[in-house]
Structure 1
Amino acid sequence: MTLSVCVCDYWQRRHYYYQPVQPKLPPVDDTDTCNNNNNQACKEQPLVLRRLQVHLDAITGNYLLQELLQQQVLRDHLQHEHGVELVWLTLQPPAQDTIDYKFADMLAHTIWEHIEVENLMSWLSTLGGGFSALGEQFERCADTAGKISLQQLKIGLRLGDPFLQARCKLYYSISLIQRGQLRQAKNMIRAQYKFAREHKEHDQRLIRMCLGIWLRLRFEYQMRNERRGG
């Protein structure tokens, strides 16, 4: 028999832990007054689940729940020493809310990190745009613009923002076009366009970026064909 814990929250919803297994009935002794010829007089008695009901505020109740879930000794003591099969924990609002300072510090650090990263992304976008414009004339500048886009992509991966990652890849594809790596740029633009179409309700700009860079790619292919034909 496994000790079960039921948590009843503010909205009377029940959350069960360690679901009980119904015990088997004890064997019937043939010498008992209840035998096969007297089935009607002897009926099975319903099993009674011995319940320990506890009313606590949500903060204290959470500590008790963690102890019940993690401490096998405590569960065995309640079950074997006191015959408890179900702990019914009813949560009540605490008289005074407490502040989780550790979580608040973690949240403040995360927010500060995001602000700094956004500031860094703005600087990188400005710097990358300048090198990208110069990349039309100088291949070295186009290469630098590509490296900046890769740095932005690393930041996007750190933030876990798929749309930012897609935009960084499109920026990098511009650098590939400027350096003459058209096939690689084509595959990258197609992949981002597929992603943009699947998530067009979230970011319409991504589709327009893909279409604009695709036109630039087509122009480069046309210029390459004309040079080869000439």
Structure 2
Amino acid sequence: MKTVSFNVKLPDQCYKFSISKHHNKCTNIEPIEIKDVTGITKSITPNQLVYVMKEFNLLNRFRRRIFNLLKELSSTTVLFYVIEPINGGLIDYAWCRRAFRITWEKVEIENLMSWLSTLGGAFSALGDSFEKCAEKAGRISEYQLKLASKSGDPSIIARCKLYYSISLIQKGRLKAAKKLVLEQYEFAKEERLTGDERTYKMCHGIWLKLQYAHSLKRLQRQKISQ
């Protein structure tokens, strides 16, 4: 099959891109004289050219369509691209600023979540003996949940709800804690299939704590009845 080609014109230089259907990609790029360029003229920006060449190298279907288009134009016709002057470079600064802000927000949320987990864990450890500490741990868990909602990560949201269920157990609200743990357990089973067992193991650990709280409550009732 005969090779077809198209030309790209830069402000001071032209390049010829040769395409072979056998290799299904650009097999040759060479500079040519501007006076040798003839054929159909089409304007394209530098950014558009970069994206076109990227898609051409990645997508087989796109390469076939380009080849068939050039073939239909016949081997004597050259597809001629006139490149407009570069305005601001090829970097998408707006997207870079957005990506930087999103990344920085995620880093700060992760950092704050770590501090809150440490602080909440300390209050939670004392919550079995002091109700005020259990209430404080619950408020910290609620704040963590608000932060987790901003991040949009369902795993972090589920773990924050489980943290809150511990404070519910410590305050004696066993039914509410049971409902919350069971809801997160359904999510944890699906997450476990993806290889992440952290939430699943947390559910089992808190469920054991809930069973222990129920057993203590039964013992207290038996003592009162006696």
Q: State the TM-score, normalizing by the size of structure 1.
A: 0.60
Gap change, CA 1:94 and 1:187, over 3 Å in 2: farther
1:206 alignment partner AA: T
Cα pair 1:59 1:94 within 8 Å, conserved: no
Cα pair 2:109 2:147 within 8 Å, conserved: yes
Q: Is 1:215 aligned with 2:197?
A: no
Q: Deviations over 1:104-124 (max 9, x none)?
A: 112112211111111111110
Cα pair 1:58 1:92 within 8 Å, conserved: no
Quick one: distance in 2 between partners of 1:100 and 1:167? 37
Q: Is 1:99 aligned with 2:91?
A: yes
Describe how 1:65-214 pairs up with structure 2 within 5 A: 98-200=90-192, 201-214=194-207
1:214 alignment partner AA: W
Q: Is 1:227 aligned with 2:214?
A: no
Quick one: distance in 1 between partners of 2:116 and 2:216? 30
Gaps of 5+ in 2: 1-23, 26-39, 51-78
Q: State the TM-score, normalizing by the size of structure 2.
A: 0.61
Aligned-residue sequence identity (percent) comes to: 45
Displacement after TM superposition at 1:203 (Å): 1.8
Quick one: distance in 1 between partners of 2:84 and 2:195? 40
Q: Indicate the structure with greater helix content.
A: 2
Q: Which moved more, 1:179-188 or 1:92-101?
A: 92-101
Which has the greater radius of gyration? 1
Displacement after TM superposition at 1:179 (Å): 0.2
2:174 alignment partner AA: L
Gaps of 5+ in 1: 1-10, 13-51, 63-88
Displacement after TM superposition at 1:94 (Å): 9.4
1:110 alignment partner AA: I
Displacement after TM superposition at 1:55 (Å): 5.6
Equivalent residue pairs, number? 155
